[in-house]
Chain A
Amino acid sequence: MADDFRARAVLKPKGRLYEDFEVGQKFVHHWGRTIHEGDTTLFSSLTLAFNALYFNRDFAKAHGHPDIVVNPHLLFNVVLGLSVEDCSEIGGPFLGVYDLVYDRPVYPGITVTAKTETLEKRLSSSDPKNGIVTWRTEGFDTDGKRIVGFRRSNIVRLRNPREAA
C-alpha cells in the first residue's frame, strides 16, 4: 500500500500558541550555534554592512581586535533565531525589539546559546483571535557570559479564540 505511511503518520507539531505562555516561564533554547567567519562575512556582504571591521582582518587587527569582528546584527539574529521554535514559530507576526544591548565585540568561532523569559502576555483589544506576548531573550558565550540581550514582542494566535463581542 503506497499510501500506508501517510495513513499511519502522526504529526509532530512545532511551536506554541497564546495559552502556552505564562509570565515568568523560562526557556533554555535548543541547539546553540557556532558562528563561523564565513557566516559573518556573508551576512555583512549580503546586507551591505560596510564597516571594514566586519570583513577586513588587517583593518580589524589595526584597531586592536584579534580577528575580524562578528557583525553584531548577525549575533542578534542567531540568538533570536534559536528562540523561534519555543516562542514564535507558529503564533504570528513579529512586532518589535527594544533595549537591545551588545555587551562586547565577539569573534569568529564563538559558540552562542540562548535563553528567554516570558515578561508579559495580553489579549488584543481589537482582535479576538490574537494576543501579544513579550519576552526577554539573552545570548551567552561558552563561559556563560552574556553577549547580547533584548526584549521582543510578537502577535500570538489563541488556540481557542474568544467569542467576538
Chain B
Amino acid sequence: MSNEFVPLFYGFNFYLFGLIAIASALLFVTRKSPVAAAMWLVNVMFCLAALYVMLDAQFIGAIQVIVYAGAIMVVFLFVVMLLNLGHAGAVSDLRGNAGRLAAGFVGLAMLAEVMVLARTKFPDAMTLKAVHGLGPVDGTAGVIGPIAGPLFNEYLLAFELTSMLLLTAIVGAVVIGKKRNPDAR
C-alpha cells in the first residue's frame, strides 16, 4: 500500500507513542506504589516496541515485548508484589527534594548526551552499511533473515562470546543461589 498518507500515518503514530512513553516514564518514577510503578514501566516498554514497529523494525519490536514486557517485567512484578503485600504505597523509597533534583539533573545530562549523539556523524567504518552493504531492508525477505545473516556470518565470534558470557552469568547465579550457609542450620 503505497501512497502519500503512509509516511504521515507512521509519523503520527511514532510521535503519539513517543509522547505516551515519556508520560508513562514520568508516571513510573513518581508513583508511590511499586506495583503501579512497575505497570507504568511495562507501558513504557510496550510503547518502545511500538516505536520500533513504526521504524519498520518489527522483529525488534516483537522481541522487546516478549523479553522486556512479557518476561523480565513479569518477574519484577512478581517480586514487587510479594514485597508489598497488603500495604501498597505505605513503603516508598522516594527520597527528599535533593534526590529529586539530582535525578532531574542526571536525566537532563542523559538527554543532552542523546541529542549530541544524534547529531554526530559516525565514521563510515562504524556503520552496518559499510561493513556489508546493508541498505534498506527488503520487505519480502522476511524479518529474520536480515538480522540472522550478519549475526551468524560477520559477527559470529562476538555473538558466541556474548552467549558464553550470558551462560557464565546464569551458571554464576545458580551457584550463588544454591550456596548453603553452614551457620543457617
Same assembly: no
